[in-house]
Structure 1
Amino acid sequence: MARGVYIHIPFCHQICNYCDFNKVFFKNQPVGEYIEAIGQEMRMTVEKNPTAFVNIETIFLGGGTPTSLSVEQLTRLMELIHLYLPVNNVTEFSSEANPDELTHDKLLVLKKYGINRLSLGVQSFDQEILKKLGRTHSNDHVFSTLRDAKEVGFDNISIDLMYGLPGQTIEQWQETLDIAFSLELPHFSAYSLIVEPKTIFYNLMNKGKLSLPGEDSEAKMYDMLMHQMEAHGLKQYEISNFAKPGFESTHNCIYWENDEYAGFGAGASGYLDGVRYQNIGPLKKYIEAIENGDFPLLNTHVVTKQESIEEEMFLGLRKIDGVSKQHFIEKFDLPMEQLFSNHIEELVKEALVENTEDALKLSYKGRFVGNEVFQQFLLDS
């Protein structure tokens, strides 16, 4: 049964140099047809398995950039969501947004149709770094958008930040943090740069033209982030996420708790009825599949019990509260120590995890090398 719904809007007016998500330039794209196709995918999916959607808690519009849509296009998308999805029990309805695209009229549309959480892609408050990233907004765009959003009635607002960026110094990161805290927002997400294949940064790195901070500097930035978020009343509840009490992202918690969700749109992924799936990525092929009355699936995979156990561990360990031992027993009918006692013992010795009576969780030290810890919970086939 789905707890959440993700809807992918792949359009961007500018492609960022680090982004590897499924996205296309907005110009000359079949935007209207795509929105109608998403509506039909939602209809087909809910009709096939209506009981899976009766209790959805969250809807998340991601991308790409949902706010690249015009007011009319955004309105039509919201109409289709309300037409085909049972939204009555949704408590968190989120949309990603670019600060230089989220106009007053678009804010009114989002508010009218029930969006109650905004996630702004800010990344940095240093204009030179923003240019390196391929971002087009300015700090003034951020400040004016936040003022506008609060005037319209949004109080659950998050911004994304990035560190370990090309040419970024400790001082620049500190300045970005200082400005971020001055905004007095209830939620922040902060990610270190990962240079992904098929990005401009990846090509530059292969040519030796991408100057990144070293591991020590990146670790220092993360340490600064964690300490200063805590000092400003923002509790770290996941490796990269910080919130004031009550403002944690329910939608993202669905992923980390290894629960089920539906994904709609080109390239979107989902997890329903024990099956992980991914949709066709290219827009025209996605639209063609829908118009032919077919589900736009690229691939499906039935998750085995072993895989589910592995996912439960490496997703759950991202949460600061860790993996609940009682929940693990209820879900898999055996204690986690029965499978991982040697690994847990070794990680405790290395001070990378804390093994309490109720949960297994990353230690402070372990948060810096999370991926290395997660790999310890891959079972032998």
Structure 2
Amino acid sequence: MIPIHSVYIHIPFCQQICHYCDFTKFFYNEQLANDYVDALKKEMSTYVPEKEKKVKTIFIGGGTPTALTVPQLEAVLRHIAETFDLHECEEFTIEANPGDFSKEKVALLSTYGVNRVSLGVQVFDNEMLKTLGRIHTVKDVYDTVSLLQDYGIHNISTDLIYALPNQTVAHFKDSLTKAMNLDLPHLSTYALQIEPKTVFYQRYKKGNLPRPPQEDEVKMYDILKTTAAKNGLYQYEISNFAKQGFESKHNLTYWNNNFYYGFGAGAYGYLPGKRYGNIRPLPAYIKQVNNDGKPVLHVDKIGKKEQIEEEMFLGLRRMEGVSKRQFTDKFGVSMDKIYRPSIEELVQRGWLLEREDQIALSEEGKIVANEVFERFLLDDLVI
């Protein structure tokens, strides 16, 4: 059996629903959260065999994991420690909103081995934070970073969003500068995406969501890359920048197309030969877990064709790109045999760089990455 070394755990509760978010999330309710934590523990215990307990990365995401009370958060962390062997865990991350941490919660993280925090900062502007539906302030960001560092947690990542409603290039540059002044080792930065079933989507459909012009979005991305590099953060993935040694090991699990467990309502997992998604509605998730411990809504078979496509989509998100040699070792067929016409076309258009053993996105290719990825879809696979 192939060992599974990474674990994603979803906590779907939020104190407020952000206007742009389409992840599985629900307003916090203490009793519902208690029931959810019990169900989550049962799901983990059902799925993880004894011989697969060693893990290298754990990521608790949301929602807002830090919306849980201290006893609820401790129950989750304790069960993780009881379910998995954490002695070889290299990275244990929790997502958090600035302002959600008390000293007691941070002490819990330290006690149970959490060594990385991903902060949903989004923007350094109080009025724009309100526009996004965020409840923290810029001061909360500084206070939270200071508190975490006081407890010895220095591996902190900040998330920023750009191309926000009414945002100018100068405004984004100012926000990015403030993020850089924190001198943290990791930065994730994304252009705003308007997703269905969000407040922003409804406003967009009504014409009430003014977006920056596309050329400004491109300028923001260029400023992002230049500013990060000047501050010692190198770009290792389309949207992620880090000091050497502080790359997100858990997210590299996804981009390297490796296997991982997914636990919780709406969570996704990837195991040999299949990708699965859990039930999203909380009452249905809890009921199914209490029934048989297996709240899976659907399972997609991942055959060789799908594995190859995902190897290209995900691998090309990394700046180092995809190794031809590793591709051949993994799939028993050369990349050129399957993709030579696509590679030549993309190189000619200036969207792809080809080296002796690597193909990678060019600077222009990063901007049109989704169009590049489409060229690696396969109608059929004949080897």
Query: What is residue 26 of structure 1 aligned with on the other side?
Result: 28
Q: Which residue number in structure 2 is paired with residue 10 of structure 1?
A: 12
State how far apart, in whole Å, the 1-side matches of 2:293 and 2:11 are: 20
Distance 1:56 1:354 in 2: 35
Q: Deviations over 1:170-217 (max 9, x none)?
A: 111011011111100000000000000000000000000000001101
The Cα offsets for residues 308-338 of structure 1, whole Å up to 9 and x where unpaired, read as 0000001100000001111101110111111
Match of 2:363 in 1: 364
For the 8 Å contact 2:53–2:83, the answer to whether it is kept is: no
CA deviations 1:33-86 (Å, max 9, x no partner) are 111111111111013xx44x3442100000000000111111111111111122
Distance of 1:9 and 1:33 partners within structure 2: 12
Q: Unpaired runs of 5+ in structure 2?
A: none
In the other structure, the counterpart of 2:331 is 332
Shift of 1:249: 0.1
CA contact (8 A) 1:13 1:27 kept: no
Letter in 2 for 1:109: L
- What is the number of residues matched between the two proteins? 378
- Which residue pairs with 2:171 in the alignment? 172
TM-score (norm 2): 0.97
Give unmatched runs, 5+ long, in structure 1: none
Matched residue type, 2:308: I
Match of 2:306 in 1: 307
CA distance in 1, matches of 2:288, 2:348: 53
Once residues 46 and 29 of structure 2 are traced to their aligned partners in structure 1, the CA distance between those partners, rounded to angstroms, is 29
Identity across matched positions, percent: 48
Separation in structure 1 between the aligned mates of residue 71 and residue 30 of structure 2, nearest angstrom: 17
1:42–1:85 contact (8 Å) kept in structure 2? no
CA contact under 8 A between 2:54 and 2:84: conserved in structure 1?
no
Local SS of the residue matching 2:190: strand
Which residue pairs with 1:241 in the alignment? 240
Residue 17 of structure 1 contacts residue 201 of structure 1 at CA under 8 Å; is this kept in 2?
Answer: yes
**Aligned partners of 1:294, 1:94: CA distance in 2, in Å?**
25
> Who is 1:125 aligned against?
124
TM-score (norm 1): 0.98
Distance change (3 Å), C-alpha of 1:262 and 1:210: same
CA RMSD of aligned residues (A): 1.0
Q: AA paired with 1:102?
A: F
Query: Do residues 191 (structure 1) and 193 (structure 2) align?
Result: no
Aligned partner of residue 48 in structure 2, secondary structure: helix
Is residue 102–residue 145 contact of structure 1 (8 Å, CA) maintained in 2? yes
Mapping of residues 1-381 of structure 1, within 5 Å: 1-27=3-29, 30-47=32-49, 50-51=50-51, 53-381=52-380
